[in-house]
Structure 1
């Protein structure tokens, strides 16, 4: 009787089929366990943060909070977030439409944020001022390591902000676009705790400026600089400024420029804070469109005619000719120290303490 020598073959074939499936199942189970652990940690840290804020007098809540994103992302959704607390001794509340945060499981230190309008800020003391902001889109991202934040970015498009005082509503910002970036400074010359800063703003109208000058006009601004010895850990602004001053922090302004109509202001230099709380520093400031600005101020009636005349003549005497983007301008040195401002050798006023 002949012997069939091919019988064992199916066993080897079965092992080849089932072994990868078993390994894949093990990996899937391990990954699921890791994702579950990561999301649990996120929920725990969120609860801890909210509890810490409550100790500081700020109550944070969401109408609905969820954590998802399986298998490769961690997604946190907060519907109608609300903050209630006190700032500078005044009670306030802030409501936001929605916040969504996303991080990759394999890169949890990099977080992407999306906020949906409206944002309503209510001053519960005094006359109950209400500030309402709407936007087309608002996105942010941040990379945070154990040593501290590495970088952060924010882009807001189509921002419109209104202020309601006793039933009277005024638009503060009309169709503004805001972009801001902060990066940990790199290179051999980078100072400890130094960050590079960049920001750009453009708006169809900015009510406080338009009201002061008596006419509406688009406005744009640009800032580039580096700040040193700044602690970005959460703390009250007054404490942050005091800490910055005590550590000898500085802000080097590479470029700060504001354009409105025919006038532009451009500044560069280095500023800081004295331990008394007064700003200090040396700047070079250039101004173009001086005659047009003086005429606008004169027509607005908010500045005495004598001062507007002095603006046009005095700057030319104190400064030297230069240009801003090809436009004729006047450049003057500005020194801030001991709570006083000097333009050249002439006193120009006082500056308040910041803490």
Structure 2
């Protein structure tokens, strides 16, 4: 009996040692991967730097804490006080994340300086067969302000949520391509500059032609790869309504070989033309929203082609290539 107890204790001790060694080995690999993001150039791929990086959660979790985070992509600098991500050892395909604000946004080219803060922000990501099965972000008490001169409120959103869902029937295993459905809902949006009363805003989108294996994301420039795969952004519906004005839009967009958006968006609205009058003068307002009908509703189709936007056959503006 004593010998069996000794053997059992030795086995348990060995398991503990192996588990501990495995956990610290994987934690070291995670640290290396995150620290490698700081070596990116910030142009061809975003550069993420953590002022302080901690990895804990032993023995059954991996908790990654990135404090004083900064993200550089092109001319844009984004700073975040704290980002936290957690994953259970026995469920490595499901990541839970949270962040503390405010996020500071600065554009060196345009001089933009803005901040986004919130009371709570949580996110989750679930991977199945290396495809995104579901990604969700939920935030409460969001405030978006212009910080260039003091602090001026741009918009306040008591509750907002964004969900990305895999569309299994559109998965092309042979081509290695998948599709995602996106749903955004923002409750009681207020924007003083646009005189928005509490507004319900929703958006339903579908994105096709994405690489199905998330391990391949970033190996090739995303937009070029998406264009070559024939990817399409399908705007199922964008809707906003504050009780006195409403806006609806739908359509499809893609990219041509030169990187210019191509496609069309149909816009239907009531009361929006009057609301944006101080910000968009005629004839541009009518060119964008269309001529009102007998019921007062505006309807129009915006066409994207060859690096420009047109209202019918009338050019409105140039659009830069996206790659």
Report the TM range for the smaller structure's normalisation. 0.7 to 0.9
- SS class of match (1:315): coil
- SS class of match (1:226): strand
Q: In 1, Cα distance between the equivalents of 2:302 and 2:43?
A: 44
In structure 2, the residue matched to 1:101 is: 85
Contact 2:289 2:298 in 1 (8 A): no
- Aligned pair partner of 2:123 in 130, 140, 147: 140
TM-score by length of 2: 0.78
Q: Indicate yes or no: 2:265 matched with 1:314.
A: no
Contact 1:278 1:351 in 2 (8 A): no
Contact 2:290 2:300 in 1 (8 A): no
**Residue 269 to residue 261, structure 1, CA distance change in 2 (3 Å):** same
In structure 2, the residue matched to 1:272 is: 254
**Residue 234 to residue 201, structure 1, CA distance change in 2 (3 Å):** farther
The structure where helix makes up a greater share of residues is 1
**Residue 342 to residue 61, structure 1, CA distance change in 2 (3 Å):** closer
Q: Indicate yes or no: 2:14 matched with 1:26.
A: yes
Contact 1:315 1:330 in 2 (8 A): yes
- SS class of match (2:87): strand
Q: In 2, Cα distance between the equivalents of 1:78 and 1:277?
A: 34
Q: Indicate yes or no: 2:205 matched with 1:245.
A: no
How far is the alpha carbon of 1:94 from its aligned partner?
3.3
The equivalences for 1:146-185 within 5 A come to 147=130, 149-165=132-148, 167-185=149-167
Q: Could you report, residue by residue, the CA deviation over 1:71-129 in whole angstroms, capped at 9, with x for unpaired residues? A: 1001111222234x562xx4x543321111111112334322111112223345675x4
In structure 2, the residue matched to 1:9 is: none
Q: In 1, Cα distance between the equivalents of 2:96 and 2:49?
A: 20
Unpaired segments ≥5 residues, structure 2 = none
Task: Name the larger-Rg structure.
Answer: 1
In structure 2, the residue matched to 1:71 is: 59
Residues 254-263 or 57-66, more deviating: 57-66
The two structures, once aligned, show a CA RMSD in angstroms of 3.7
Q: Could you report, residue by residue, the CA deviation over 1:284-337 in whole angstroms, capped at 9, with x for unpaired residues? A: 4433xx3x4444456x48535x888999993327xxx8xxxxxx9676655544
- SS class of match (1:28): helix
How many residues were matched structurally?
Answer: 313
- SS class of match (2:15): helix
**Residue 310 to residue 140, structure 1, CA distance change in 2 (3 Å):** closer
In structure 1, the residue matched to 2:100 is: 116
The equivalences for 1:171-320 within 5 A come to 171-187=153-169, 189-191=170-172, 192-207=177-192, 210=194, 215-231=195-211, 233-234=217-218, 240-287=222-269, 290=270, 292-296=271-275, 300=278, 303-304=281-282, 314-316=291-293
**Residue 177 to residue 348, structure 1, CA distance change in 2 (3 Å):** farther
How far is the alpha carbon of 1:22 from its aligned partner?
3.8
**Residue 332 to residue 78, structure 1, CA distance change in 2 (3 Å):** closer
Contact 2:155 2:190 in 1 (8 A): yes
